[in-house]
Chain A
Amino acid sequence: MGHTAIEKIIMRNTGAQHVTPGEIVVVKPDRVMIHDIFVPFVAEKYRQMGFTRVWNPDKVVLIYDHLVPAAVIDDVRHFKTGDAFAEEVGLSHVHRADGICHQLMVEQGYVKPGDVAFGTDSHTTTYGAVGAFSTGIGYTEMAAILGTGSLWVRVPSTIRVEIEGELPPHVSAKDIILRLLGDIGADGAVYQALEFAGGTVDGMSLSSRMAIANMAVEAGAKCAVFPPDEVSTLYSGAPGFDMATLAPDADAVYDRVIRYKAGELEPVVACPSQPDNICPVRQVAGTRVDQVFIGSCTNGRLEDLQIAADILRGKKVSPFTRLLITPASREIYGQAAESGLLADLIDAGANVTLPGCGLCCGRAGGILAPNEVVLATNNRNFIGRMGDASVQIYLASPAVAAATALAGQIVLP
Chain B
Amino acid sequence: MQTEFSGRVWVLGDDIDTDIIIPTEYLALPTIADMAPYAFSPLRPQLAGQIQPGDIVVGGKNFGCGSSREQAPEILKELGLSAIIAKSFARIFFRNAVNNGLLLLENADLPDAVTEGDTVAVTVGKQVVHGGKAYPLAPMADNVLEILESGGLVAAMQKRNKAGQA
Question: A77 to B27, alpha carbons, bound, how many Å?
Answer: 13
Contacts of B65 in A (CB 8 A): 186-187, 220
Question: A78 to B27, alpha carbons, bound, how many Å?
Answer: 11
Question: A124 to B66, alpha carbons, bound, how many Å?
Answer: 12
Contact of B19 among A50, A78, A136, A384 (CB under 8 A): A384
CB pair B15 A50 closer than 8 Å: no
Question: A48 to B153, alpha carbons, bound, how many Å?
Answer: 11
Interface assignment of A285: CB less than 8 Å from any CB of chain B = no
Contact of A138 among B62, B90, B92, B162 (CB under 8 A): B92
CB pair B88 A190 closer than 8 Å: yes
Question: A66 to B24, alpha carbons, bound, how many Å?
Answer: 10
CB pair A220 B28 closer than 8 Å: no
Interface assignment of A24: CB less than 8 Å from any CB of chain B = yes
Question: A147 to B164, alpha carbons, bound, how many Å?
Answer: 12
Interface string of B1-33 (1 = CB under 8 A from A): 000000000000001010110011101111000
Residues of B at under 8 Å CB distance from A?
A: 15, 17, 19-20, 23-25, 27-30, 41-43, 61-62, 65-70, 88, 90-92, 95-96, 99-100, 141, 143, 152-154, 157-158, 161-162
CB pair A49 B88 closer than 8 Å: no
CB pair B66 A361 closer than 8 Å: no
Contacts of A41 in B (CB 8 A): 70
CB pair B62 A186 closer than 8 Å: yes
Question: A119 to B23, alpha carbons, bound, how many Å?
Answer: 20
Contacts of A138 in B (CB 8 A): 68-70, 92, 95-96, 99
Closest B residue to A22 by CB, please name it: B141
Contact of B23 among A45, A74, A362 (CB under 8 A): A362
Contacts of A382 in B (CB 8 A): 17, 19-20, 42, 66
Contacts of B30 in A (CB 8 A): 74
Interface assignment of A274: CB less than 8 Å from any CB of chain B = yes
CB pair A24 B141 closer than 8 Å: yes
Contact of A222 among B23, B68, B69, B91 (CB under 8 A): B91
6 extra A-B contacts, CB within 8 A, seeds A141-B99, A187-B90: A37-B69, A41-B70, A49-B161, A122-B67, A140-B96, A382-B19
CB pair B162 A50 closer than 8 Å: yes
Interface assignment of A91: CB less than 8 Å from any CB of chain B = no
Interface assignment of A383: CB less than 8 Å from any CB of chain B = yes
Would you give 7 A-B contacts (Cβ < 8 Å), ordered by A? A50-B162, A122-B68, A137-B92, A144-B157, A186-B65, A187-B65, A383-B42
Question: A190 to B28, alpha carbons, bound, how many Å?
Answer: 28
CB pair A67 B28 closer than 8 Å: yes
CB pair A147 B157 closer than 8 Å: yes
Interface assignment of A75: CB less than 8 Å from any CB of chain B = yes
Contacts of A147 in B (CB 8 A): 157, 161
Contact of A190 among B91, B143, B154, B157 (CB under 8 A): B91
The listed residue with most A CB atoms (<10 A of its CB), out of B25, B27, B65, B96, is B65
CB pair A363 B25 closer than 8 Å: yes
Closest A residue to B162 by CB, please name it: A50
